[in-house]
Amino acid sequence: VMNYLKYLEEARLVNLVYKENEGFPKKPAAVLLHNPNLIYSIYSPSISEQNIMETYFVNSLWRHHTVNKGRRDGLYRINGNVEIHVCDRSKRVKSDPNIVLARYNTEVGRGDNEIPLWLFGFLY
């Protein structure tokens, strides 16, 4: 099964996101479709907005950065040193100066550690 997942990743249909210090052939922490547009064509009736936004985030960063799954849902570790939490504008999150918030449903950032999710598209 892991070989098939690896083939799907090489064909750029899925992104395999592992926990930090893990990799193939271990079980990935998350399997996300490579492109958010694929979600709409496959899972259209039962799409969660959080899943779409996490797929967009990972797809924006995967090419030039190492993306690992964090210890909580929506939390990702980039290049082993920056933690980014993908969440909605209205979600209340404990303020942690070490975590950057990538917020969706917002156009501008608030504070020092909040970035609108759409800005990550410029990294692609």
How far is residue 100's CA from residue 93's CA, in Å, rounded to a whole number? Answer: 11
Q: Is the peptide bond before 36 cis (omega within 30 degrees of 0)?
A: no
Matching residue, tokens 């799409």: 47
82-88 and 75-78 strand pairing: antiparallel
Confidence of residue 24 (pLDDT cuts 50, 70, 90): confident
Q: Are 84 and 75 in contact (CB under 8 A)?
A: yes
Confidence of residue 14 (pLDDT cuts 50, 70, 90): very high
How far is residue 119's CA from residue 124's CA, in Å, rounded to a whole number? Answer: 10
Q: The pTM is what? A: 0.86
Q: What's the whole-number mean pLDDT along residues 29-56? A: 87
